[in-house]
Amino acid sequence: MKKYCYVLTASLYCLLFGTGIYAQAVPAYQQEIESWHTKRIQNLKAANGWLNLVGLYWLDEGKNSFGSGRQNKIIFPKGTIAEAAGYFERTGNTVKLVVQNNTAIKVNDQPVTEAVIFGGDSLRPPVVSSGSLRWTIIRRDDKIGVRLRDLESPLATHFKDIDRYSIDPGWRVQAALQAEGQPRSIAITNILGQTSQQQTPGKLVFTVNNKQYTLDALEEGDELFIIFADETSGNTTYPSGRFLSVKKPGKDGTTIIDFNKAYNPPCAFTNYATCPLPPRQNVLPLAVTAGEKNYGTH
Q: Which domains are delineated in the chain?
A: 5-47+161-282 (no CATH), 53-152 (2.60.200.20)
Q: Angle at Cα 164 formed by Cα 160 and Cα 166, nearest 5°?
A: 130
Helices (H), the chain: 21-45, 154-158
Task: Enter the pTM of the model.
Answer: 0.88
The mean predicted confidence, pLDDT, of the chain is 90
Q: Quick count: other Cβ atoms within 10 Å of Cβ 199?
A: 11
- Residue from 196, 286, 279 nearest 240 by CA: 279
How large is the average pLDDT for residues 276-297?
95
Q: Please, are residues 202 and 227 in contact by the beta-carbon 8 Å criterion?
A: no
Farthest CA pair distance, the chain: 81
Give the per-residue pLDDT at 235.
97
Q: Please, are residues 170 and 27 in contact by the beta-carbon 8 Å criterion?
A: no
Q: What is the DSSP letter of 24?
A: H
Give the per-residue pLDDT at 9.
38
Residue 103, strand partner residues: none
- Tell me the chain's radius of gyration from C-alpha atoms: 23
Q: Please, are residues 126 and 137 in contact by the beta-carbon 8 Å criterion?
A: no
**Main-chain phi, psi angles of 111, to 5 degrees:** -60, 140
User: Rounded to whole angstroms, how far apart are CA atoms 292 and 266?
Assistant: 12
pLDDT band at residue 7 using 50, 70 and 90 as cut-offs: very low
Give the per-residue pLDDT at 18.
37
For 282, counting Cβ atoms within 10 Å of its Cβ (0-12 exposed, 13-18 middle, 19+ buried), the class is: buried
- Residue from 234, 251, 250, 254 nearest 294 by CA: 234
User: Rounded to whole angstroms, how far apart are CA atoms 34 and 292?
Assistant: 12
Q: What is the DSSP letter of 266?
A: G
At 171-212, the pLDDT tens digits run: 999 999 998 777 799 999 999 999 999 999 999 999 999 999
For 267, counting Cβ atoms within 10 Å of its Cβ (0-12 exposed, 13-18 middle, 19+ buried), the class is: buried
Q: Give how far Cα 208 sits from Cα of 150, 171, 287, Å.
A: 43, 8, 11
For 144, counting Cβ atoms within 10 Å of its Cβ (0-12 exposed, 13-18 middle, 19+ buried), the class is: buried
HSE-up (13 A, CA, CB side) for residue 295: 22
At 15-56, the pLDDT tens digits run: 333 334 444 568 999 999 999 999 999 999 999 999 999 999
